[in-house]
Amino acid sequence: MIRADELNRVIFGCGNFGGLGSSPTLRDKGDGRERALALLDQARAIGFTRFDTANTYGGGVSETVLGAWLKDQGPDFRSRIEIATKVGNPNGCPAGERPLSRAQVAYHLDQSLRRLGIDRIDLYYLHEFDPLTPLEETLEALDRALAAGKIARFGVSNATADDLNAVLALTSGSLRQAFTHVQNGFNRLETADLAEVIPLCRAEGLRYVAFSPLAGGLLTGKYSSEGKAGAGTRLGGAPGFFDRLLTPASFEAIDQLRRRASENGWTIPGAALRFILDTQGVDSLIIAPRSAEQFAGYGIVGL
């Protein structure tokens, strides 16, 4: 399902540490510290070298746990891996402030560096575009961060083609060279980016990273067409987040994945990841396993 030479295309996501993503209402649904540390240990043992988090995941817990783990891994390991985090989710912005204002970017960048225990972030994403802040102001804040050596590169997330064109129009020189990644939701059930975003990334030399590769767990094959989800699952913990995907067409696509998995001796999640890795123009994908069994189900144990 995932060849040994493809592991660098799979990113370990820390979005379940301390909560499910950035939502304050889901802080009790995520992975606790000990489980998170064990999952990170397993990720390193398998060979992961790319890790993704955000300043708002678990209200900052995700960065804190990842930072504590990194401290115990030693400088040699740190020099060989990529750490990505994000800024600009409205859940991290105080009332009356703008998520991607110059001041908020500078403040949260320093907070992320402190929690992660590092001097420079390898890849810094704009988590969501901020309609309240001129893009020029946000990009100026990133330019300052680059000049100060606090970030090495930056990317954007949850971006449309118009968003990408706007960033491209306002960047040049070293700032344009530092704009390297786009991270959007993409999976077998959500393929809208094939029309414009992915071709634009290819044309501009941007690396496209797919998050939610299993559509909140729908593409594991464990849910029925009634969409009922058990306790402890992402779909069960975040009702309403994936309602738009609970359609007959989605379950037909899942049945197609099931048949492909059976024909090739794969798991259904493995077939879902294979779909993404085989999509032209997709650089990499993010997985967020919550147990050793899920690592195995993705088809990456033993690489």
* 186 phi/psi in degrees, rounded to 5: -155, 130
Q: For residue 288, what are its two tokens?
A: 């967020």
What's the confidence (pLDDT) of residue 298?
87
Q: What's residue 80's pLDDT?
A: 95
Would you say residue 83 lies in a domain? yes
Instruction: Give the pLDDT confidence of 10-20 residue by residue, as tens digits.
Output: 999 999 999 99
Please check whether residue 230 lies inside any domain of the structure: no
The reported pTM is 0.94
The alpha carbon of residue 23 and the mean position of all alpha carbons in its chain are separated, in whole angstroms, by: 15
Q: What is the arithmetic mean of pLDDT over 150-158?
A: 98
Residue 300's pLDDT is what? 75
What separation in angstroms does the CA of 100 have from each of 68, 105, 153, 227, 303? 27, 6, 17, 36, 40
Q: Which of these, 243, 221, 215, lies nearest to 297 by C-alpha position? A: 221
Q: Are strands 121-126 and 82-87 parallel, antiparallel or unpaired?
A: parallel
Confidence check: pLDDT of 231 > 60: no
Is there a domain that residue 224 lies in?
Answer: no
pLDDT of residue 138: 98
Q: For the chain, how big is the Rg over CA atoms in Å?
A: 19
Q: Are 155 and 120 in contact (CB under 8 A)?
A: no
Residue 288 has pLDDT above 90, yes or no: yes
Of the listed ranges 53-57, 72-76, 156-160, 236-240, the least confidently predicted one is 236-240
Would you state the pLDDT for residue 299?
81
pLDDT at 209: 99
Query: Residues of the chain with pLDDT > 70: what percent?
Result: 93
The 10 Å Cβ neighbour count of residue 27 is 13
DSSP structure class, residue 98: -
Where helices occur in 80-186 by DSSP H, the ranges are 102-116, 135-147, 161-170, 173-178
Run of H or E residues at 198: helix 197-204
Say whether pLDDT at 174 is over 70. Answer: yes
Percent of the chain with pLDDT strictly greater than 90? 85
Instruction: Check pLDDT > 70 for residue 293.
Output: yes
Using one digit for the tens of pLDDT, what is the confidence trace for 43-53? 999 999 999 99
198-226 residue pLDDT tens: 999 999 999 999 999 999 889 998 876 65
Band (245; pLDDT cuts 50, 70, 90): confident
Looking at 73-82, 111-120, 234-243, which range is the least confident one?
A: 234-243
Assigned domain for 197 exists: yes
Tell me the mean pLDDT in the region 30-46.
96
Could you give the residue numbers annotated as active site? Answer: 57
In terms of average pLDDT, the best of 26-30, 118-122, 296-300 is: 118-122
Task: Summarize the confidence of residues 29-44 as an average pLDDT.
Answer: 96
Domain assignment present for residue 222? The answer is no
How many CB atoms neighbour CB 184 within 10 A?
A: 20
Mean pLDDT across the chain: 93
Q: Evaluate whether residue 245 is within a structural domain.
A: no
Residue 297 confidence (pLDDT)? 87
User: Bridge partners of 82?
Assistant: 50
281: region left, alpha or beta (phi > 0 left; psi from -120 to 50 alpha): left
Residue at 200 is within a domain: yes
Total tally of structural domains belonging to the chain: 1
CATH of the domain at 131: 3.20.20.100
pLDDT for residue 225: 63
- Asked if the structure places residue 41 within a domain, the reply is yes
State which residues form the domain around 40. 4-217+284-297
Q: What is the pLDDT of residue 5?
A: 86
